[in-house]
Every structure is written in C-alpha cells, then in structure tokens.
Amino acid sequence: MTSPAVETTDRLILSLLADDGRMSFTDLGKATGLSTSAVHQRVKRLETRGLIRGYGAQVDHEQLGRPLTAFISITPIDPSQPDDYPERLEEIPEIESCWSVAGDESYILKIRVATPRDLEDLLGRIRAAANVSTRTTIVLSTPYENRSLG
C-alpha cells in the first residue's frame, strides 16, 4: 500500500524542522506563508501520519568523551542461526545505529567510543554477543551528517 503524497508545503515544513527541530510554529508560518494555527495543524497531521517520528538534539560526541566514530559491518559465522543480531546487540550502549543491509554483510553498526582500545574491546563484545565476524571502518572526519531534505 502506498502512502499519500506529501505536498510541497508539507515538504518545506519537514525540511525546516529537520534543520531545526525547535523552530516555533510562528517562525514556520513566516517561512511557509501560513498562519501559526495552520502550521500547527499541519505539523500535528505530519506527526500523526508518522512523517515526523520525533525531535532530537544534535550532540557533540567529542565533548561527551566519545570522539571516535566507526562503522562495523557484521557477518554471521553460522548463517543457519536465527537472524536476531539486533536483539543480541541492543544492550550495548556504544552502538548508536543498526542497519540491515544487502550485500556481503548482514548489518552495519554505527558506534561511538573514546579510544582505539575501547573500539577493540567493543569489537570483542560484539563478536561474543552475536557470534559474528566484523569489518571496521573508522571515521576520520564528518564534513556533514543528517543533511536536510532540501
């Protein structure tokens, strides 16, 4: 079943909120040419439809003591085992995201840790918890992330 089309004004509202989730209804109205109450109704409708799933803060991970970001691809050692890797790994706090992917690997994890030694420890915990092999890519810098819909 296909979802209803998203009209241009709603796309603009989504883009503005993706850039600044704290933007007021008044400011959204000014940017879209709508009244504050009309914007409020549209935002509530976008939330109800599931196009807006939540609002969040952009965190400075370096200041939080986790400056090292890496992507860890996992591949099952025994492919006949159940595909329950996300559940096996969900209690590991260093894992920020988990994506199921097509290709050689089954999942890609985005992780954040403090040091290379912490990464080494984390890799051991992931391998033990999920019985998988891993391939790691360390992020050197992030020119941009979570780009707007623009």
Q: According to CATH, what is the number of the domain 8-49? A: 1.10.10.10
Q: pTM for this one?
A: 0.81
Q: What is the pLDDT of residue 24?
A: 95
Query: How far apart are the C-alpha atoms of 136 and 127, rounded to whole Å?
Result: 12
How far apart, in Å, do the first and last CA atoms of the chain sit? 26
**Tens digits of residue pLDDT in 52-62:** 999 988 889 99
Written as one letter, the residue type at 59 is V
According to DSSP, residue 75 is labeled E
**What is the location of CATH 1.10.10.10 in the chain?**
8-49
**What is the location of CATH 3.30.70.920 in the chain?**
62-138
Burial (0-12, 13-18, 19+ Cβ within 10 Å), 59: exposed
Q: According to CATH, what is the number of the domain 62-138? A: 3.30.70.920
Which among 35, 129, 111, 104 has a CA at the least distance from the CA of 72? 111
The token pair at 3 is: 């979802």
Q: pLDDT class for 19, splitting at 50, 70, 90?
A: confident
Which among 109, 122, 99 has a CA at the least distance from the CA of 71? 109
